[in-house]
Structure 1
């Protein structure tokens, strides 16, 4: 269809918005951190270096990866925790264990669908009202489906992209809006995958791979756009993790293939992600943004 003269004139006359980067001065939202207090002992300095302050939201909060990392953040000083999930009650025992082990921390749960922007916005508002802020966001919510691309239905494709990519964006956007309204910085960690870097074998999962690759681009875009607000955005790309999603006799052959193609010869333990999550969520990661960290036992070497 030909473009009308008026439409062409509107197109050529348009202007675009520009990003505003930070100046990095001490008065900006990205100024250098204060020096380590001189009166601290070596042990005190080590503890402070990896301290995690403030409140965190973890999506997919009833899942193994989120719960393991929630515990790690609490161990490093997190004062408030909100676990977002379609059904947090699936992890009632584990969540109560967190409350028992960290009685001074405020721990809440929110039932929501991350693909519903209105639900996400409301949950973030409620969390900020209850905890005081939303200083950390870790997006663990995700789905995986193994289908041959030629047989994939439109609904299967859209569901995977909606949860893994669009859902992560909705959560990041809602947290960024809340923190900027409070004039507070924020650390956002998107959970991508080695599937964002290379095609998996032997399982076909084109939708999942595409959804995770999109997170890498999203991470970089948000890191650039939101730096001036003091919002750092990074991603972690785990390899095959030994969780319930990868268990069962039906996956025995696939697990063998995954291990054989890994230089370290095994799948990863959920605990092996916690160091990076703590690093990116706290002051130790204050100069890290727009980065992706592959944690895969060396699988991406091949």
Structure 2
């Protein structure tokens, strides 16, 4: 199925040190891409992601920085183009979560989450588009969440939910703005996924509820986001832009 191959492509994945970002970065390499792994620290597994990609015979670099820094993002793109080649695929996965009641939420908690989840995604898209648009080629995939479409029962996450809704609509807007210039922009919205955050003993009871409420009866594995990412990054989706691809085991149907 050559339509799904990414040979000759150069990808950037933010938040590539663990969970969904790590799985997607390795999955893109398995499909043939060279990959730049971006994260805020090498301690979170960024070097491990790079090493696993290199073991596949693909080129890989690990870059630390902040998605809230225009200089860090511009420098990362410049390094990618110098060491790996022209950037053609970007997966903007970096994000943070949290729970807090709306009536007592300090402004700084709201602003910190929005800085990463919304401004960070926008700044990443902007830095990537600045090299993709002049060449008339590229695909951007922003990772949101089903929480951008629904409100999760029992979770006090007004800030998180609204930030993911912003990512979805921002992506649609960018898709339309850049649609006639060769750049596609799409979203993957994972459902409940067995990331390190959901493996903590203190959330074990909550995870059981997530499993119960998911029609397929379980959480997703991070690797189950690879297929959707490869699809949206590849020629298989050449006529697809502006979509929110929900990958949730049927959760939003109920």
With structure 2 as the length reference, what TM-score do the two structures score? 0.95
- When the two structures are aligned, how many residues end up with a matched partner? 252
**Cα pair 1:61 1:88 within 8 Å, conserved:** no
For residues 180 and 101 of structure 1, what CA distance do their matches in structure 2 show? 30
- Unaligned ranges ≥5, structure 2: none
Q: Aligned to 1:145, what secondary structure does the other structure show? A: coil
2:229 aligns with one of 262, 266, 277: 277
1:140 aligns with one of 83, 93, 106: 93
Shift of 1:131: 1.5
Shift of 1:164: 0.7
For residues 300 and 97 of structure 1, what CA distance do their matches in structure 2 show? 34
Matches within 5 A, 1:41-56: 46=1, 48-53=2-7, 54-56=9-11
For residues 100 and 50 of structure 1, what CA distance do their matches in structure 2 show? 21
2:199 aligns with one of 239, 244, 247: 247
**Cα pair 1:202 1:254 within 8 Å, conserved:** no
Q: Aligned to 1:110, what secondary structure does the other structure show? A: strand
For residues 217 and 173 of structure 2, what CA distance do their matches in structure 1 show? 35
Deviations 1:72-103 (Å, cap 9, x if unpaired)?
1111111x21011001343133432321232x
Residue 153 (1) aligns with residue 106 (2): yes
Larger radius of gyration: 1
Q: Aligned to 2:90, what secondary structure does the other structure show? A: strand
* 1:120 matched residue in structure 2: 73
Deviations 1:237-258 (Å, cap 9, x if unpaired)?
1001001111222112211211
Shift of 1:184: 4.0
Q: Aligned to 2:96, what secondary structure does the other structure show? A: coil
- Unaligned ranges ≥5, structure 1: 1-45
1:173 aligns with one of 126, 130, 142: 126
In angstroms, what is the RMSD of aligned CA positions? 1.2
Shift of 1:196: 0.3
For residues 203 and 248 of structure 2, what CA distance do their matches in structure 1 show? 19
* 1:286 matched residue in structure 2: 238
2:22 aligns with one of 29, 50, 67: 67
1:200 aligns with one of 142, 145, 152: 152
